[in-house]
Amino acid sequence: MSQLVPPHGSPTLKPLLLEGPARAKELDKAKKLKKVPLTSRETGDLIMLGIGGFTPLEGFMGKADWKGVVDEMKMPSKNGLFWPIPITLSADKALADSIKIGEEVALYDPEHDEFMATMTVTEKYTIDKAHECQKVYKTTDVEHPGVKMVMEQKDVNLAGPVKVLSESYFPKQFEGLYQRPAESRKMFEERGWSTVAALQLRNPMHGSHAYLAWVAIEVCDGVYIHQLVGKLKPGDIPADVRVKAINALVDKYFRKERVAMAGYPLDMRYAGPREALLHAVFRQNYGCSHLIVGRDHAGVGDYYGPFDAQKIFLEIPSDALQLKPLCMDWTFYCYDCGTMASMKTCPHESKAVIDDNGKYQGGSRLLLSGTLLRKLMSEGKPVPAEFSKPEVIAVLKEYYDNLEEKVEVKLHGAATGNVKK
């Protein structure tokens, strides 16, 4: 019997991906159905439904579940099951009006010219997009990339169960990294792990990320470095470069029997606290018992406090999740301590001063963040040696040196330390 934490809301995973003859038959049918085009975010959500990452969901949410999730993080259709972010599909009004309730449609990815699924439409409804943004993202500012995604959704939401036909380009492009929940669970069991801490990454691993992973290994059987390989906002480092940088660090500085790496196919929503909860839900499905929640988890700009993603775990019911958060304080390199430290352990409070040549000039704490690292690298400025391992910096330097068009990276409070805890 498995010693791993069970999937969310179900004793077993519930993948919706068809394979073999069943897939071939459904694909032939899909080609004869009305096509509903998908956005990149919807495609990622659909793949997660397919591989069981969104267990126990059976498709895209109807209005009652949309409202329950937005307002109370509960799904009425599943006896109040905890769920933190709505999983919805939208279509333009003309197409939605042409579809009858009970009709099957084909879900189509226009970017990659591929049929992704079939869906039986059980409901058509409109939503208050601003209400969703305010409740889920805590803002209606369209400068927020997640809010922008919601506000650009089509006019009508379509709900219904899906039969998934494809995992898109992810298995091929990220061969050896992309992983289904059934595969991660099998791997953990083969390694004899029962407690597994997931480390969410959308940036290359700088010193703070590595420190958090090492701390987690001290209290769990292993750490699961779980990278997002879907789409990011402009200025973020693309997945293939990030994978190369993380591999360079893990290969040299981690015990192989205590670390595993994988990728998952979602786009970032940048929903801060609510997205941290979604990360917890699907990491439980992947077999993880813990999620590392550090500073500004899944945040963007100054929309969230640096520890709001930790606080929200204290606000949900104690039985909402079986996975538990590993809440970590702000971490940094301390020149007086001579090592990585955190605000819980380090008594030296002055901020380190680094000159334009990346040389240390005095002070104690060098605050590390992915945003600051991207800014330094994109502007061609030297990166202090204490920021990350040289193997990581070498990979990133090669990327930025060959980047033809650079996006301005703006520093925010959570990246500089100019915030109240």
Domain ranges for the chain = 20-168, 175-264+270-421
Which of 328, 421, 333 has the alpha carbon at shortest distance from 373? 333
Whole-prediction pTM value?
Answer: 0.93
pLDDT of residue 236: 78
Which of 295, 314, 298 has the alpha carbon at shortest distance from 306? 295
Q: 20-168: what fold?
A: Sulfate adenylyltransferase (3.10.400)
Which of 117, 119, 45 has the alpha carbon at shortest distance from 85? 45
Parallel, antiparallel or unpaired: strands 196-201 and 114-120: unpaired
Which of 252, 170, 169, 255 has the alpha carbon at shortest distance from 205? 252
Q: How far apart are CA 307 and CA 298, in angstroms?
A: 11
pLDDT of residue 8: 98
Superfamily, domain 175-264+270-421: HUPs (3.40.50.620)
- Cα 364 from chain centre: 32
CB 195 within 8 A of CB 221: yes
pLDDT of residue 407: 56
The dihedral region occupied by 267, where left means phi > 0, alpha psi between -120 and 50, and beta the remainder, is beta
* Two tokens, residue 278: 């979604």
**Residues assigned a catalytic role:** 202-203
> Measuring CA to CA, how many Å separate 33 from each of 27, 29, 110, 120?
10, 7, 15, 11
pLDDT of residue 131: 98
Fill in the amino acid letter for 306.
Answer: P
Ranges in the chain, pLDDT < 70: 405-421
Q: How far apart are CA 245 and CA 373, in angstroms?
A: 13
Q: How far apart are CA 225 and CA 222, in angstroms?
A: 10
Which of 20, 362, 336, 53 has the alpha carbon at shortest distance from 179? 53
Give the number of other Cβ atoms within 10 Å of residue 10's Cβ.
15
* Two tokens, residue 66: 């949309």
Q: How far apart are CA 318 and CA 418, in angstroms?
A: 32
pLDDT of residue 409: 56
Parallel, antiparallel or unpaired: strands 59-60 and 156-164: antiparallel
> Measuring CA to CA, how many Å separate 255 from each of 260, 293, 295?
10, 22, 25
> Measuring CA to CA, how many Å separate 292 from each of 121, 153, 194, 216, 384?
38, 31, 16, 8, 26
**Among the residues of 83-128, which ranges form H helices?**
93-98
CB 115 within 8 A of CB 154: no
